[in-house]
């Protein structure tokens, strides 16, 4: 017992000294970094005491403008260093060492656990390697069929509105993206577009609301306070539905695959060449790839599979909803851009609005791709990304970020910086023509999908999805903004950039 006590006390002392050394080291180096005045214990948290996430976003933008491309800000005892210099961003994002996500992602952990978005080190590397085949071109080609079919459902829904009706497209884009992700991730339909009040759809809305609220409510950031709040019950209920739904789908699909394999063994061969590239069946979803995957020779457990399916659901529906909404906003706001988009779409698809969307046709929509890229420059779906400094990071101009600090990259402001983009606040899709982008000094001034080893694995998926639904809507409708929505939208940003208030459109049926 005495030996145990000595060992315990020794280890505790080592941990205490190491923790305090890291904190003291970070505090000492932070004195060399410019930033707003911080108070003891709460740091700069007092600057963000407001119920409005849009106001918080505005406050953060003002701090960015006041303190430049390199400054520090304290959230309680957490040191955050904001960097905006492209060379510094390249040092951070190109590193294979600093790949752990910052603490602002922790509010997602109860839902996503250690899926690809939140996993660290070797676990992240192994999962990334196992999941990459899901985004092979041949697999994406099958996903486009889902985009197209659900896009038709969106069009049918929009046709129920009159020409004079004010239509808010953001909620419809949310439901479309949820349906897309459920089918491509799990191979099941929740019919969100026709059943917007279903239990699963409501759970996704609830969990998103809780996560967003915890990010901008300083008191709810602490687990010890959050668990006693009314919101904790909503959070727990949403997790029960979300995890229960995914677990049930995994269990049923695993049983189906077992029965399918037994049937193959009895017949002596596979059924009608049903399997294609990478061992994935024509109609299989992301879930099926995970069920076939192994890491170091071992299949993934049901929990590991749930982590990745839930991560795919989260990353895929919220980000693309943002991209779709702002793309349609920009197209409606700029009639000449809409005309060019429609001319290109009509050339590729012809006058038949029922002509199926294929990956080949989407690849021909080169001008629409410029429009999407320019939209993601002005309205990046993820306006900030964050990493943790795993060791001291040496930046340009002899700047050092201490070990343990959160490092934040404000994509939103970098991509609107006049240093890197002429007439930066203007919507000019042509700036992304190949011969012009080749002139850029750094590829790290445009990072809507992040960059480096931890860039977005689903960026091609997202581009095809946005292209598909936007082209589908433009084939059927001419878009205009209502007068109240024609001004620059009020923005809010937690993990995802979205409009604070409704952006309303009017839809005029196309006449060919």
Contact 463, 373 (CB under 8 A): no
Tokens (6 digits) for 393: 């990071």
pLDDT, position 17? 46
β-strand pairing of 406-410 with 78-83: parallel
Residue 446, CA distances (Å) to 51, 150, 271, 493 in order: 31, 31, 46, 18
Identify the DSSP state of 100. Answer: S
pLDDT, position 76? 80
For every residue of 393-408, DSSP letters joined together read EE-GGG-EEPTT-EEE
Question: What's the pTM?
Answer: 0.90
- Least Cα distance to 86 among 414, 422, 413, 450 occurs for 414
The 3-state DSSP class for residue 437 equals helix
List the chain residues with pLDDT less than 70: 1-23, 260-261, 263-284, 434-442
pLDDT, position 493? 87
What's the distance, CA 257 to chain centroid?
30
pLDDT, position 21? 62
Contact 506, 482 (CB under 8 A): yes
The 3-state DSSP class for residue 426 equals coil
**Cα–Cα dist 66/53, whole Å:** 20
pLDDT, position 272? 42
What are the residues whose beta carbons fall under 8 Å from the beta carbon of 77, sequence distance 6 or more?
23, 41, 43
Q: Tell me the per-residue pLDDT of 47-94, one tens digit each, with 9 for 90 and over.
A: 888 878 889 899 999 999 999 999 999 988 889 999 999 999 999 999
Superfamily for the 20-509 domain:
Cytochrome P450 (1.10.630.10)
């Amino acid at each position: 017992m005495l030996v145990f006590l000595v060992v315990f006390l020794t280890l505790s002392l080592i941990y205490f000294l190491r923790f305090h050394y890291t904190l003291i080291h970070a505090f000492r180096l932070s004195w060399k970094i410019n930033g707003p005045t911080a108070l003891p214990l709460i740091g700069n948290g007092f600057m963000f005491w407001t119920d409005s996430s849009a106001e918080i976003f505005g406050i953060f933008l003002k701090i960015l403008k006041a303190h430049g491309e390199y400054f520090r800000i304290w959230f309680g005892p957490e040191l955050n260093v904001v960097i905006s210099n492209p060379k510094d961003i390249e040092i951070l994002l190109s590193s294979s060492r600093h790949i752990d996500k910052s603490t602002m992602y922790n509010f997602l952990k109860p839902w996503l656990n250690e899926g690809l978005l939140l996993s660290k080190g070797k676990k992240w590397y192994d999962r990334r390697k196992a999941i990459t085949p899901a985004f092979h071109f041949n697999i994406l080609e099958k996903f486009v069929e889902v985009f197209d079919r659900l896009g038709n459902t969106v069009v049918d829904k929009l046709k129920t509105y009159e020409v004079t009706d004010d239509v808010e497209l953001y909620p419809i884009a949310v439901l479309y993206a949820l349906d897309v992700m459920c089918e491509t991730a799990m191979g099941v339909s929740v019919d969100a577009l026709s059943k917007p009040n279903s239990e699963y759809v409501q759970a996704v809305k609830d969990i998103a609301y809780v996560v967003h609220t915890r990010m901008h409510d300083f008191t709810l950031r602490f687990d010890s306070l959050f668990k006693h709040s009314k919101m904790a019950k909503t959070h727990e209920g949403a997790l029960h539905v979300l995890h229960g739904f995914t677990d049930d789908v995994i269990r049923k699909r695993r049983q189906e695959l077992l029965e399918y394999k037994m049937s193959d063994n009895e017949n002596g061969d596979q059924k009608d060449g049903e399997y294609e590239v990478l061992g994935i069946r024509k109609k299989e979803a992301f879930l099926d790839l995970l069920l076939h995957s192994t890491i170091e020779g071992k299949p993934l457990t049901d929990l590991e599979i749930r982590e990745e399916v839930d991560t795919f659901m989260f990353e895929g529906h919220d980000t693309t909803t943002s991209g779709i909404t702002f793309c349609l906003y920009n197209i409606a706001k700029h009639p000449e851009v809409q005309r060019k988009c429609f001319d290109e779409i009509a050339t590729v698809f012809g006058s038949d609005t029922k002509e199926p969307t294929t990956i080949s046709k989407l690849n021909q929509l080169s001008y629409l791709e410029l429009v999407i890229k320019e939209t993601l420059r002005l309205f990046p779906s993820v306006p900030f990304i964050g990493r943790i400094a795993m060791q001291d990071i040496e930046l340009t101009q002899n700047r050092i970020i201490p070990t343990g600090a959160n490092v934040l990259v404000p994509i939103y402001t970098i991509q609107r910086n006049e240093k890197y983009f002429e007439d930066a606040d203007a919507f000019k899709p042509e700036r992304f023509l190949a011969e012009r982008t080749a002139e850029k000094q750094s590829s790290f001034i445009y990072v809507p999908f992040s960059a480096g080893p931890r860039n977005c694995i689903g960026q091609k998926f997202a581009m095809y999805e946005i292209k598909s639904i936007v082209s589908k809507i433009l084939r059927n409708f001419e878009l205009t903004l209502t007068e109240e929505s024609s001004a620059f939208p009020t923005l809010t940003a937690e993990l995802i950039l979205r409009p604070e208030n409704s952006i309303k459109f009017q839809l005029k049926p196309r006449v060919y």
